[in-house]
Amino acid sequence: MHKKRFALIGCGFIGQVHAANLATHPGVELVMLADADSTRASTLAGQMHCRAGEVSAAINSDNVDAVLIASATPSHAELLEAAARAGKAVYCEKPIDLSLQTAMRVAENVLHLNTKITVGFNRRFDSSHQQLKRLLDQGIIGRPELIQMVCRSSELPPLSYLQTSGGQMRDQAIHFFDLLRWLTGDEVTSIAAMGAALAMPAISKFGDVDTSVLIMQMQQGGLAQLDNTRRTGYGYDERICVMGEKGLAESGPQSPPGLKLFQDKTIIKQGVYPDWFSRVQGTYYQHLDAFVRYLNDEEVADLPGLLDGVQAQAIAEAAVLSLSTKRSCPIDKVI
């Protein structure tokens, strides 16, 4: 595998996750880190044994083949377009932008450049979801008729994060809009959403919810349901259940490995993962690995592309509209 030279833009929590993966991947040379906070970039660069630089240098350097964008969401669209125009491959964290119109404009501006781009829907690389995808592709349970999805985070993020996250639909549920399209090979045509701020009532002041139930109609006739919560009392719960004409398959919450205790007539075992990152941490590396293989001209069927990012966001925008209007909203193919 030919090593690809990466620059990372954004050195916050998720940027640090990406930095560690870039630094340890055998097909990657991490050559530069950049961040709006130069001190944070310098500190992380020292830990990763690479250099810190300006964002413009990360995008325009001749010594960079690919740019990984993990900066604050409002900067994604501008950086993605700039990197693509500079001839770099791009791995961009989701969402592309908080505005669907801006995301669509960027996609239209860069698609003709034939740049290799992936959007950060790392949940596709969850091992359990991958097995479910293979089973569905093989037609073992027939055409999906009813899909039930659960995304329940264990702990509320800080209020400061929620105020700038774009809301539950764009920040949390969007992963499952992408998973639904990827797993079924089908498109969502309409969505109806109900939601409430039950765990943190303060977020209702800026139009957000922390608990929601969504019902979606699929183009091929199937129905899908997603329930989201920002807080549980029992750990992180993520599962997808698909019923087809010939049976049912489920990608479950995946109990973490650990000890089982058999005592008297009782069995005590570990439950679900304690938080979302414990469940999904490995998927970030798997997504990076798939992207690197793609950059080396391998065929990678599961890699989420730019249009996947835009279409998932179109579903999220329709869900936001449904929450506010309390009616079902249609979804069109946006590009």
Q: How many Å apart are CA 182 and CA 179, to the nearest integer?
A: 5
Checking if the pLDDT of 291 tops 70, the result is yes
- Percentage of the chain surpassing pLDDT 90? 90
124-278+310-330: CATH, from 3.30.360.10, 3.30.70.260, 3.20.20.70, 3.40.190.80: 3.30.360.10
Q: How many Å apart are CA 11 and CA 38, to the nearest integer?
A: 10
Render pLDDT for 79-118 as a digit per residue (tens, 0 to 9): 999 999 999 999 999 999 999 999 999 999 999 999 999 9
CA dihedral 121, 306, 114, 71 (to 10 degrees): -70
- Percentage of the chain surpassing pLDDT 70? 98
In 94-187 the beta strands, taken as DSSP E runs, fall at 117-119, 144-152
Checking if the pLDDT of 262 tops 80, the result is no
Rg of the chain taking only CA atoms, in angstroms: 20
Render pLDDT for 30-53 as a digit per residue (tens, 0 to 9): 999 999 999 999 999 999 999 999
pLDDT of residue 258: 73
pLDDT of residue 265: 80
Question: For residues 34 and 70, is the Cβ–Cβ distance under 8 A?
Answer: no
Render pLDDT for 66-75 as a digit per residue (tens, 0 to 9): 999 999 999 9
Q: Does domain 4-115 have CATH number 3.40.50.720?
A: yes
Provide the whole-model pTM.
0.94
Confidence of residue 2 (pLDDT cuts 50, 70, 90): confident
Q: How many Å apart are CA 18 and CA 93, to the nearest integer?
A: 10
Q: What residue spans define the domains of the chain? A: 4-115, 124-278+310-330
